[in-house]
Amino acid sequence: MIHIILALVKSKGTSSLDQIVRDSGFKREEVILILKKLSFIGKITFLSSREKDPDVCSECSMGKLCQFKLNSKL
């Protein structure tokens, strides 16, 4: 499952959570857990559309506020 989601993010460059859920066919909660894990190990980066207020993203459920981008160091 991790490899499928990573491949989706890699192929698109930048994707929203909703798009990843649609493309992968996995449950939203499962995708969120995988994305958190990939972010923790440095494979992806969260890009907030609300860059002026970083506190908004601290405990969000990663709805439509965030996008995911593959880190360039891969």
Each domain of the chain, given as residue ranges in start order, spans 2-70
CA distance 24 to 6: 10
Return the number of other C-beta atoms located less than 10 Å from residue 17's C-beta. 20
- Higher-confidence residue of 60 and 23: namely 23
| pLDDT-above-70 percentage for the chain | 59
Mean pLDDT of the chain: 71
User: Which CATH fold would you assign to the domain 2-70?
Assistant: Arc Repressor Mutant, subunit A (1.10.10)
pLDDT given for residue 25 in this prediction: 92
- Which residues are CB-contacts of 20 (< 8 A; sequence separation ≥ 6)? 5, 8, 9, 31, 35, 68
Mean pLDDT calculated for residue range 59-66: 51
Type of residue found at 24: S
pLDDT in tens, 27-44: 988 988 888 888 888 787
